[in-house]
Amino acid sequence: MSIAKGTQVRQVVKAIEGVVSAKRFNDDEDKFEYCVDFDEADGHKGQRWFLEGQIESTEPPEEKPAEGVQA
């Protein structure tokens, strides 16, 4: 399919979803970075480092008891 010049477009990217297996501080960026292990589309295992802000947790945040309430 050809896209006409001047057409508004967006990149088609499959989001990586996986588990953080390591983290370290990146002095050059002054941020933490996280190693994510994931399954690639072809079934092979993949691994990639992301700076904080490039990934987010998919787990719900832990609930904290309200102040003054004993757990």
pLDDT at 69 over 70: no
pLDDT in tens, 7-25: 999 999 889 999 999 999 9
pLDDT value, residue 62: 82
Domain spans, the chain:
18-51
pLDDT in tens, 25-63: 999 999 999 999 999 989 999 999 999 999 999 988 888
pLDDT value, residue 29: 96
Q: Check if the beta carbon of residue 48 is closer than 8 Å to that of residue 38.
A: yes
